[in-house]
Amino acid sequence: MVGWLRRGRTRARGVSRPVRSEAVEATRVELAELAPDPQAYLGQLGYLTIVLFESLGRGATAAPTASGKSRFGRVAAEVLGIHEAVLGELRDLGVDPAEAMEPYRARLDDFQRRTRGDDWHEILMTCYLASGFLLDVYAGLAAGLPTALGERMSALLADDDAEDLLVEELREQLDGNPRLAARLAMWGRRLVGDILLVARSALSIDGRFPPEERVEPVFTELIAAHTRRMDALGLTA
């Protein structure tokens, strides 16, 4: 999910660095120190990708055109690719994937309920912002995993570009529709609170939250990345 953001930024502001790599680079050291153990990392990411898949399926159902539906399908295929790879890593660790994901189910199901959105535009926005923000977090945390696993996770989370399709779709919808822009800017602001809570919990280990002073700089940068994602749509964060 890198190329599209680069293109987005180029068009929107003439800046050529992708949001993902920019955010991950700026937070790599801080996030590495806050990485949970491999099982917790993989369990959370495994369940998160399920939740994203569900949202994308709902987006496809709500999309009014065949091409819109296909775009959601492409993004879902990528998210499911990450999901399968994560499950494979858990099995290689000798851990049952369902058991590893279970502790994160209630929180992420709740996140999903709170951020469902009332219509296709809001679902689209949720998919775009939540997957962007949260996969940034896991890409950054990968630096704190055991080396080989961390490298595989970095590659897995960096090497895709299907969300470009969501941005394209959003831009097409927003073009010449200031009323929708105002509504989606509001929805984006509402989403960021819920997304931050999930991101925060990704940093905790066994429910113990890390101290604020270590978390603060990470969040500052992640929110900056979120703002750049809104900018890419011409919306105010």
d(C-alpha 222, C-alpha 211), whole Å: 17
C-beta of residue 27 within 8 angstroms of C-beta of residue 215:
no
How many residues bind to a second copy according to rule CB under 8 A? 30
Burial of 147 (0-12, 13-18, 19+ CB in 10 A): exposed
By the rule CB under 8 A, 76 interacts with a second copy: yes
- Pick from 3, 21, 32, 81 the residue near a second copy by CB under 8 A: 81
CB of 63 to a second copy, least distance (A): 9
Give CA–CA dist 111/28, Å, rounded.
25
Range list of β-strands (E), the chain = none
54 binds a second copy (CB under 8 A): yes
| Site membership for a second copy, residue 69 (CB under 8 A) | yes
CB of 158 to a second copy, least distance (A): 20
**97 near a second copy (CB under 8 A):** yes
**CB half-sphere exposure, 33, CA atoms < 13 A:** 10
> Smallest Cα–Cα separation from 203: which of 222, 188, 187, 186?
222
Q: Which is nearer to a second copy, 76 or 222 (CB)?
A: 76
Q: Does 226 bind a second copy (CB under 8 A)?
A: no
Report d(CA 55, CA 78) in Å as an integer: 13
Nearest residue (CB) to a second copy, 3 versus 57: 57
d(CA 149, CA 202): 17
Q: Which stretch binds a second copy (CB under 8 A): 25-33, 64-72, 132-140, 205-213?
A: 64-72
Q: Does 87 bind a second copy (CB under 8 A)?
A: yes
Closest Cα to residue 97, out of 34, 38, 150? 38
By C-beta, is 66 or 148 nearer to a second copy?
Answer: 66
User: Any contact of residue 123 with a second copy (CB under 8 A)?
Assistant: no
Which is closer to a second copy, CB of 84 or CB of 92? 84
Q: Residue 190 CB: number of other CB atoms within 10 A?
A: 16
Report in angstroms how near the CB of residue 109 gets to a second copy at its nearest.
9
- Residues near a second copy (CB under 8 A): 46-47, 49-50, 53-54, 56-58, 60-61, 65-67, 69-70, 73-74, 76-77, 80-81, 83-84, 87, 97-98, 101-102, 105
